[in-house]
A = this chain, B = another copy of it.
Amino acid sequence: MKGESAKPAASVTISDIARLAGVSRSTVSRAFSRPEMINAATVARVKAAADHLGYVVNHAARALSTGKFGNIAVIVPDIANPFFPPLVRQVQSLADLAGYAVFLGDSDEIADREASLLSRLSVQVDGFVLAAPRLAEGQIRELDKLRPIVLVNRDLDGLARVLIDPSGGLDEAVSHLHSLGHRKVVYLAGPRHSWSDQQRRKALAHAAEQRGVEMVTHEVGRPSRTSGRDAVGAVLESGATAVIAFDDIVAQGVLAGLAVRNVEVPGTMSVIGCDDTLAAGTNPPLTTISAASGAAGAAAVEPLLEMIDTGADKPDRIIIATHLVVRETTGAAAGRSIGR
């Protein structure tokens, strides 16, 4: 099968089409943007001429007169963090469907780089998806005056934002553990300043109280496999029979640390991660809380395009629910018999 598909066209302009079709440039322009204003036959002729020539609209030029660029940007702190690619992928995919192209900005976790990306991009995009922005609140609000933005996992009053709510999944996790006989579990907490971590602490505290399990939290600092592994000592000493980690990477570290010490999972210790970024790629396959970062991306792009296209109001908060994904790192509490 050869290429019926769109061929990367040379610089064909509206004028070229106009000449070929024997109409004025405005007619050509309208044939694309508001065909219903134009005689159907003319439209047909124009379109024919256009794809005969291999015309591709020059968005940059169009932007100059309309102020609309047909581009959006998605900014992430670190595209190499497995949480973000699914998000970016969804954003790009949906944007593409709607005819938008997408800029990617990677701030490398540093606020100033984020700021400069934003300012550089603000002149060629119609809107932003800001995923877990590191920027100061003031600067974000500043940008918001300029262009529609939707935040992901950052909760700023009055701005459009999609928030992944861990409480559903975490509650299921605690309840799951409880039903397996666990009565003391440790939470390996992430960075205090992180919105996600705060949410998780809160949700966990609440769930633990509800279910009657004792929850002790231990901070690992910057989440990483290493910090997870290093926390194993503390976990073991705590006397807990299960651990819930800030994210899957940390959980993976815990798994590794446990393996080294020959403590069996889930035989002796149960472990649960967060974010479901590793799929079944751990050994044993990790029970985790779905993060749905892809869903968050989709949920962000949709209202963004609405705001851009129709000037729709910002939605308030869009909440993405989570749930527990049970795989193989959770089992009956060690040293207990559970009735069946």
Show the binding face of A for B, using Cβ within 8 Å.
2-3, 5-11, 56-61, 63-64, 69, 71, 78-80, 82, 84-86, 88-89, 92-93, 96, 101-106, 108, 111-113, 115-124, 136, 138-139, 142-143, 146-147, 225, 249, 252, 255-256, 259, 278-283
Q: For the complex, what is the distance from the CA of A93 to the CA of B255, rounded to whole Å?
A: 33
Contacts of A64 in B (CB 8 A): 60-61, 64
Query: Which of A56, A57, A86, A111 is the most central at the interface, judged by chain B CB atoms within 10 Å of its CB?
Result: A56
Q: For the complex, what is the distance from the CA of A86 to the CA of B106, rounded to whole Å?
A: 11
Q: For the complex, what is the distance from the CA of A38 to the CA of B320, rounded to whole Å?
A: 55
B123 near A56 with CB under 8 A, answer: yes
User: What distance in Å separates the Cβ of A306 from its nearest Cβ neighbour in chain B?
Assistant: 21
Contacts of A122 in B (CB 8 A): 8-9, 56
Q: For the complex, what is the distance from the CA of A121 to the CA of B60, rounded to whole Å?
A: 11
A138 nearest in chain B by CB position: B3
What 8 pairs across the A-B complex have the smallest Cβ distances?
A: A104-B104, A283-B283, A60-B60, A8-B143, A6-B119, A5-B115, A80-B85, A8-B119
A119 near B7 with CB under 8 A, answer: yes
Contacts of A10 in B (CB 8 A): 146
A10 nearest in chain B by CB position: B146
CB within 8 Å for A115 and B60 given contacts A89-B106, A102-B104, A104-B103: no
Q: For the complex, what is the distance from the CA of A146 to the CA of B6, rounded to whole Å?
A: 14
User: What distance in Å separates the Cβ of A138 from its nearest Cβ neighbour in chain B?
Assistant: 7
A79 near B69 with CB under 8 A, answer: no
B101 near A121 with CB under 8 A, answer: yes
- If A58-B124, A101-B121, A259-B283 are given as contacts, then 20 extra A-B residue pairs at C-beta distance below 8 Å, sorted by A number, are A3-B115, A3-B136, A5-B115, A5-B116, A5-B139, A6-B115, A6-B116, A8-B143, A9-B119, A60-B63, A80-B85, A92-B104, A96-B113, A101-B105, A101-B120, A102-B104, A103-B103, A249-B281, A278-B281, A281-B281
A144 nearest in chain B by CB position: B8
Contacts of A82 in B (CB 8 A): 82
Contacts of A3 in B (CB 8 A): 115, 136, 138-139
Residue from the list B11, B102, B112 in contact with A103, Cβ < 8 A: B102
CB within 8 Å for A123 and B57 given contacts A88-B79, A102-B104, A282-B283: yes
Q: For the complex, what is the distance from the CA of A180 to the CA of B209, rounded to whole Å?
A: 55
A280 nearest in chain B by CB position: B225
Contacts of A112 in B (CB 8 A): 5-6
CB within 8 Å for A60 and B123 given contacts A106-B92, A252-B281: yes
Contacts of A102 in B (CB 8 A): 103-104
Contacts of A255 in B (CB 8 A): 283
